[in-house]
């Protein structure tokens, strides 16, 4: 990632710990000023103070619960009004390991509000500004659950599949307008996510758990290499290419005037 003498600012959600805090460090080291967004003011202030001291960058904090309308609108307004913001990192998210039957509807609703609604609104707030300037970056933290929904709570997997689809659509829409778009699909990562999701990370098979620093550094390497989809643990990118090619191959046959022949015999007027 290159920077210029012009001030560039990255706004990072979920920035008080884990993946967001590591991104904040790495982006500050790359020359970005920062706007850090999270609910926990004390943690935000600690991260901001450390990064100011270590990197000399300007670091602002926005204390906000993105599931609350008024807080979400404040962050949207910052994205739409701050001309220095050239990178949005949609990292804030909620997960769950319990099945739908064992989950409360309020918990599922809150997950959708954060993982889907807030991410969409923040992206929509910044995209017109980036397009008008002809440059910028949007990084969306998805999950391997986007393509493997059986591994965790289905609502979580569905919300992350939405993030993946939105990113791919954005690439199609604004990729030629100077905007870099990336979805990152981490596997199990050593963060507090798992404690909140209901299974402490120590209870997972440790051979599948990636240290958070390695995950973020790999994701940034993928961004530097121009990847739209980055799966930090995937050894061979050709596997993703094969997956995508198979999906795209469905395209010509997804919409026709008549049902597929295997369904014709079941139609009421088939006789």
**Rounded CA separation 243/3 (Å):** 34
Tokens coding 87: 């990178």
- Tell me which residue of 188, 176, 174 sits closest to 88, measured CA to CA: 174
Contacts of 116 (CB under 8 A, 6+ apart): 159, 162, 163
Task: Write 124-129 long-range contacts (CB < 8 A, 24+).
Answer: 125/75, 125/76, 125/77, 125/79, 125/80, 126/11, 126/79, 126/80, 126/85, 126/88, 127/170, 127/174, 127/179, 128/80, 129/79, 129/80, 129/83, 129/85
- Residue matched to tokens 């963060």: 191
**Rounded CA separation 75/66 (Å):** 8
Beta bridge partners of 61: 36
Cα–Cα distances (Å) from 216 to 107, 141, 173, in that order, read 27, 10, 26
Out of 23, 32, 156, 263, pick the active-site residue.
156
Residue 230, phi then psi, degrees to nearest 5 = -120, 120
- Is 263 catalytic? The answer is no
Instruction: Tell me which residues are annotated as active site.
Output: 156
């Amino acid at each position: 990632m290159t920077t210029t003498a012009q001030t560039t600012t990255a706004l990072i959600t979920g920035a008080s710990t884990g993946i967001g805090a590591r991104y904040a460090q790495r982006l500050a080291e790359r020359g970005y000023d920062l706007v850090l967004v999270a609910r926990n003011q004390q943690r935000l202030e600690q991260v901001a103070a450390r990064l100011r001291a270590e990197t000399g960058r300007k670091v602002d904090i926005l204390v906000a619960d993105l599931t609350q309308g008024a807080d979400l609108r404040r962050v949207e307004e910052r994205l739409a009004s701050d001309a220095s913001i050239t990178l949005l990192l949609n990292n804030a998210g909620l997960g769950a390991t319990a099945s739908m039957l064992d989950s409360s509807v309020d918990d599922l609703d809150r997950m959708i509000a954060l993982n889907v609604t807030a991410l969409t609104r923040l992206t929509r707030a910044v995209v017109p500004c980036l397009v008008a300037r002809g440059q910028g970056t949007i990084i969306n933290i998805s999950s391997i659950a986007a393509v493997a929904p059986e591994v965790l709570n289905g609502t979580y997997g569905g919300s992350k599949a939405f993030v993946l689809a939105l990113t791919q659509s954005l690439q199609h829409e604004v990729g030629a307008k100077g905007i870099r778009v990336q979805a990152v699909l981490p596997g199990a990562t050593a963060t507090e996510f798992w404690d909140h999701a209901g299974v402490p990370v120590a209870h997972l098979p440790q051979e599948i758990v990636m240290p958070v620093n390695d995950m973020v550094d790999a994701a940034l390497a993928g961004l530097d290499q121009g990847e739209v989809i980055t799966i930090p643990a995937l050894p061979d990118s050709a596997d993703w290419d094969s997956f995508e090619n198979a999906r795209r191959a469905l395209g010509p046959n997804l919409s026709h005037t008549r049902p597929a022949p295997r369904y014709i015999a079941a139609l009421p007027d088939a006789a």
